[in-house]
Structure 1
């Protein structure tokens, strides 16, 4: 795979300085214009303030880029026709010469190929509700089961089947630890209602686990660091429960299925919480990016 690393990212990787991978789907498909570009620049600035190099990842004209300059970020934020690319789409996008924003699975794959070990995102995909009927499961899980990368996230999206997702991660052999908590976060919520067996309390502990992964030399699976959104910035739990129930009912009534379910539910939550779900989402992402930069610094200082 021919990767285009920005000069800044290449120099940092070659010198073993801290680098944090960032996905681009939130820029192209997760936020309205012009706020999407503002948030993209803000998140990169958060990484820099913590002493690390941001590596926002996307595919431009069929070429996977690890690290984008301002003009390239502007393209992802404002150009019409930007595709949404999972890891399965990468060869098709490359051969077709199209441009696309990378999801968790594509970002994790390209980051690992570039030698970037730490990746910050909002929430992971997972096992969908009614899985026994639809067999719908995010590609994130399988990719993370075979990719050596540390993913800092706010758990999985609360619209998913959280206990089934945790069970699936266990089956796949993906390590999961709560950051400063023994509860698995629920994306918009600090606590999904489900426990985690392991807790890590500082970036140095996370880096120790990463080193242990390499020493063990076992399967190339990920480490998920589940970092809860601060309670004061989470979506009101009662509001979340009510609106999510309404969203699931509306989704069923509209006959939405497959890949359309997640964007339908997320849009319903944003509109029927007056934007509070989006505010909680951004609070979670900022916290994850900040923590990821600190972990990358601890890892680079080994």
Structure 2
């Protein structure tokens, strides 16, 4: 009967699957190459399957290896969560939390939230990483992050999710643009032909297309913006119009520009800001505390109130 694999053997598996090179994988695990090779051989013999194909030039993972790899990552993540949870039991709210935030949230929400968190939980340390949603969720699954602050809708699988507040989209255009002339602005499908978008990977791109009820919008003349700031500059240059989240507009993003932003007619398209974590996270208390702080900031801050009007 096969014996249970050790956590060390599973870590060797994950390292080699990532590097596909025995020397680099051994260095990543801080062991010699012979130790890593022996550990993987024992793992393969125990499980009764070949995990890797090897020759003098290349290393590749087998289909069985891919199946085992996914489970190995889950086991390693759960083991680390267990250790972190045990450490935190004696020192509540004193952990180091690795928080990922998407670029269309970070500069607008974090300046409001972080001072409140530092004041309320002085022993809680938070490190930040800004990245696209897909990259953050990959890092979360790989245990490189503890939480991620993202925008929904987005497919999240079995992650722990706390919805925090809604963030409506506003129409942004030059002040002389005909799109702003109506008393009540709707977003008809025909307006999609003028809609400028962020590049692939930004969730606001998908949200904008959903708002227009189209899944095949092509950016005007092939233009794609890499950031909200670039998107604003493109609109200001007369290339088209854009949908921007209310939190960005209320933060003063359009200050010193010739652009105007108008709320859309009810029901306006919106995104939902959410904090997500692994279901097995060891930081349940911190997860709830951060969620509470962000909700309070969204309710108290003038920038995130649900007021409707004209912003410039």
If the length of structure 2 is used for normalisation, what is the TM-score?
Answer: 0.27
If the length of structure 1 is used for normalisation, what is the TM-score?
Answer: 0.28
Tell me which protein shows more helix as a share of its residues: 1
